[in-house]
Structure 1
Amino acid sequence: MSRSGLVYGLLAYGLWGFIPVYFIAVAPTGAFEIVALRVVCSLVFCVILVAATRTLSGLVALLRQRRVVLAMGLAGLIIYLNWQVYAYGILSDRVLEAALGYFINPIVTVLLGVIFLRERLRLVQWIAIAISAVAVVILAVGYGTLPWISLALAFTFGIYGLIKKQVGGRVDAVGGLTIETAWLTPIAVVQLIVVGATSGLTFGHISGWHTVLLLCSGVITAVPLLFFAAAARRLPLTYIGLLQYLAPVLQFVFGAFILDEPMPPERWIGFGLVWFALVILTVDMLASGRAPRKVSLEPAT
């Protein structure tokens, strides 16, 4: 195992785990403005990065592949929904529900493999899925409604990973993010116009520090992704698969013990069942020598 790979992996998932801190730091900016600015700033940062790393020829080669460009456009729309739901969850004091979504995601990824790729699951994997379903029911009772933020995050990111899998290894991290954000930028610009015409934009109207933080959203989006790409090249997928739990664990700790979000007994039971299902899935993964797909390991946050 590469030590540098482990460091890159810890940095990637650690930064993703602290994303809620960033969203709270840019208050009172709303979810729609944050996500739209994130897209625009990410595109600017990616263009600078492509120029600095002299990878323009590779990006142009990708743009000539119509299937790849269309797939990245669809993936961009799905991840845009994911970002929007995540930002709404964090800013509406539902960090725990958002964290639950990324705990559930590996299980949803396995289920989507059965539905769309006709993969066959072992009995142990079916047991993990069944336990997760029971957990969702218990949490629904605890919340008084379905934990829709968790389910939306898990399924949108699972579908995003499924689309990326169809593209395969032809798209690198920077190239893929550049194409996705290029597709989304017109939508983001329209969204900013609508926000400005209705509730009003906060960008440039709060303080200099606040404006700088919002401008940094592109860096905050791209840097962990680059760390992840570096880790993925140096570590076996088994290690990457285990590291992926670091981000939702950090988010759970932040929501439960720092923001002091309510955790009544039924929520502890629900989360406990999800964690138990993940232990079953992880042990099975290690025993069988397989890991979750690489595309499913990049948190959308």
Structure 2
Amino acid sequence: MGAFRGGAVLAGFFALTVPLMPVQALLVQSGSRRARTFPHWYHRQVCRLLGIRIKITGKVASDRPVLIIANHTTWLDIPVLSAVAPVSFVAKKEVANWPFVSSLARLQRTVFVDRSRRTAVGATAGEITGRLARGDTIVLFAEGTSSDGNRVLPFMTSLFAAAKPSAGEVGAAPDAVVQTLSAVYTRLHGLPLGRADRPGVSWFGDMEMRSHAWELLKAGPLDVEIRIGAPVPLASFTDRKELARHSEGEVRENVVRSLRAKQDGDKVDVADPVAAPAAVRVRVAADPGQKWT
């Protein structure tokens, strides 16, 4: 039955995706605003097809440019975050060479960056600030890689140079805001995912993507919990290090809150030697907006 489910989902994915790729290509080429929103609709359909149920607390601002700082655990984060809001991603340059995936990434107007070279990351700042100036919502996976889903890896401050240039350099749109987003996969077939189970959903280390994707397609429906932080003006951060500290603390606390099934307002200790640095303590503003999609 697992193989039957996987084959059906895979067939449905290609039947949905391939005919729509030329449509998105035309939207991107024409510069239509629909080039931002069409992938949002598409990924909502993909998540339904995959059986992914998304619980959302908070909301991505829709009336101003947004830089979303998120944790990263699996390739599923791409359709899940795209189903939450119309977004584009900052991705490592290697993705631009992956067969088929690179085409989808370009159609979603992904910004590619060489994360191994600090100077290259800084050079990408012009593209990201330009996109923010045009009102886009950009997602940055600040860990620089994916984790096993049980922790948040230390944020790489060098990656923030592409979003928060040094003093004296051209900055983003003056009304741009930063919002954090934490994603935690909580259930498989309606059953809670424990610490030992969650790495099976995550894609990290030297895992081969095709075999991992096939196993997930066979496995069954997933629940994911998304927590979105309140918007903070990007200009209010003095430098990339301050932006990284704020974002890491808020993402880390919300991930721990989801892992431990804590509600907003409950006290959360993130000083776990495995899950977080002992010095991290951030107060997160509660957001009553919560919905299922």
Give the strand-richer structure, 1 or 2.
2
**Greater relative contact order structure (CA < 8 Å, 6+ sep):** 1
TM-score interval, normalised by the smaller of the two chains = under 0.3
Q: TM-score, normalised by structure 1?
A: 0.27
Give the helix-richer structure, 1 or 2.
1
